[in-house]
Amino acid sequence: MFKHSQLLVLSISVFLLMLGDGMVLALLPKTVISLTNSNLYVGYLASTYALAQVMSQLPIGMLSDRWGPKFFVLLGYVLSFIAGLLFYFTNDVNLIFWGRVLQGIAEAPLLSLAPALLSVRYSADKGKAIGIYNASIYLGLTAGPFLRVVLLQGWSDHQIFLLYAVLCLIGAIIICCSMRNQLERQSTVKETMNINSCLTLMKNPQTLAVLWGITLYGAGFGIFMTLIPAFLLTLKGYNQSYINIFFSLFYVAISLAQITIGWLSDRLGRLLFMVLGMLIAATGTAISIYFDHLALTVILCFSSFGLGAYYLASMAFLNEKVPANFKGAISGIYYVFWGIGMFWGPLMLTGYIQANSYQAGFQMFSVILMVQVVLLSIAKPYQTQATKDMQ
């Protein structure tokens, strides 16, 4: 049991935070629409969050490599608690977006530093360990909207925001009391990753292709979090209960991908599941527009499983490219690219959809994902001598 205590502490804490986050995220599109009487601002929910992620990820990763991750992970739970209070006490849409900025900064260390720590602690089974942690994230996000529909249907939106804040506070207490601070560093560590190290790593064409795919994954995640709910609410005419169920099943699919792909990619390789994940996501996105109700939900879940497969396989791939003293930084780089996609993807697709249609927008994004499949298939690994020295 002690062997797995670090994984257990991190997984329980993040599950509690994401349990509340799942309820909050399902409410925010409706909240923004009701406060502005428009769906034009919904895409900014993802973009403001992503911008905060991009600005904070790399500095947090590099500082964590020097000082240890505990302070930054704990800070993430505290800032999430503050964001929950901000949602609870305001009816101003601008403050809703400021809350999303706080969430972006807060979740940066939770998404990047914990997998980096686990990749070192469980080096022989890093894919499995990261998969379990990521599954805890998405199981929490899954259970949140489902819990709201089944047990908390009579609660007001403001009560849900307060519950989220309380769950974040509980997670902070668990981390403060139970998490060990240090990455298990090798005694030979002399430096942490700097800008030159990042540029050296990116000289590898295969790594560049993977990072571009991470950008597309971020865009896809942002689209599923904002534009697809807006599509279901406005064009399809579905109610909030359907949106809650959609969010739950979306997260179930990603959770299943984390649990299954982590273990399989440890044995069969990362590239196979990066290619397969993008192919599945592209196919589901392209055909979803033609279906309704149950069939539509199944297809969207199929597509989100593909996104989850790419997420896990690409994260493990990058962690294998660097030594222990670069783990925090490489995870920060991962989420910089993810945040860029999540910021620009929904905004650009929103503009394209307004000029054309949801069908044209979803199909265009599907084509871009298919191009990524080709890039992953043809990009060859190449190492400069500097890259070899870094490893």
pLDDT tens for each residue of 78-89: 999 999 999 998
Following DSSP, what letter does each residue of 272-296 receive, concatenated?
HHHHHHHHHHHHHHHHGGG--HHHH
For residue 195, the model assigns a pLDDT of: 56
Q: Are the C-beta atoms of residues 250 and 146 closer than 8 Å to each other?
A: no
> Quick one: pLDDT band at residue 196, thresholds 50, 70, 90?
low
In the block, tokens 């260390």 appear at 109
- 155 burial class (0-12, 13-18, 19+ CB within 10 angstroms)? middle
For the cut 50, the answer to whether the pLDDT of residue 91 exceeds it is yes
For residue 202, the model assigns a pLDDT of: 67
Question: In the chain, what percentage of residues exceed pLDDT 90?
Answer: 32
For residue 385, the model assigns a pLDDT of: 43
For residue 328, the model assigns a pLDDT of: 67
**pLDDT of 357-382, one tens digit each?**
888 999 999 999 999 999 999 987 65
Residues 6+ apart with CB under 8 A from 188: none
Domain segments of the chain as ranges: 2-182+192-390
For the cut 80, the answer to whether the pLDDT of residue 311 exceeds it is yes
For residue 332, the model assigns a pLDDT of: 75
CA distance 282 to 264: 21
CA distance 52 to 58: 11
**Superfamily the domain 2-182+192-390 falls into:** MFS general substrate transporter like domains (1.20.1250.20)
For residue 27, the model assigns a pLDDT of: 86
Q: Name the least confident of 17-21, 41-45, 107-111.
A: 41-45
For residue 174, the model assigns a pLDDT of: 93
* Among candidate residues 330, 326, 307, 315, the one with its CA nearest the CA of residue 265: 315
> Quick one: pLDDT band at residue 386, thresholds 50, 70, 90?
very low
> Quick one: pLDDT band at residue 16, thresholds 50, 70, 90?
very high
Q: Is the dihedral of CA 146, 150, 154, 159 positive or negative?
A: negative
Which pair of structure tokens corresponds to residue 372? 């990524």
For the cut 60, the answer to whether the pLDDT of residue 257 exceeds it is yes
Average pLDDT along the chain: 83
For residue 15, the model assigns a pLDDT of: 95
CA distance 188 to 71: 24
For residue 389, the model assigns a pLDDT of: 47
CA distance 300 to 318: 27
Which pair of structure tokens corresponds to residue 26? 């399902």
CA distance 44 to 23: 18
Mean pLDDT of 254-271: 85
For the cut 60, the answer to whether the pLDDT of residue 50 exceeds it is yes
For the cut 80, the answer to whether the pLDDT of residue 249 exceeds it is yes
Instruction: Give the residue with greater pLDDT, 303 vs 325.
Output: 303
**pLDDT of 107-153, one tens digit each?**
989 988 888 778 777 776 777 888 888 889 888 888 888 888 788 88
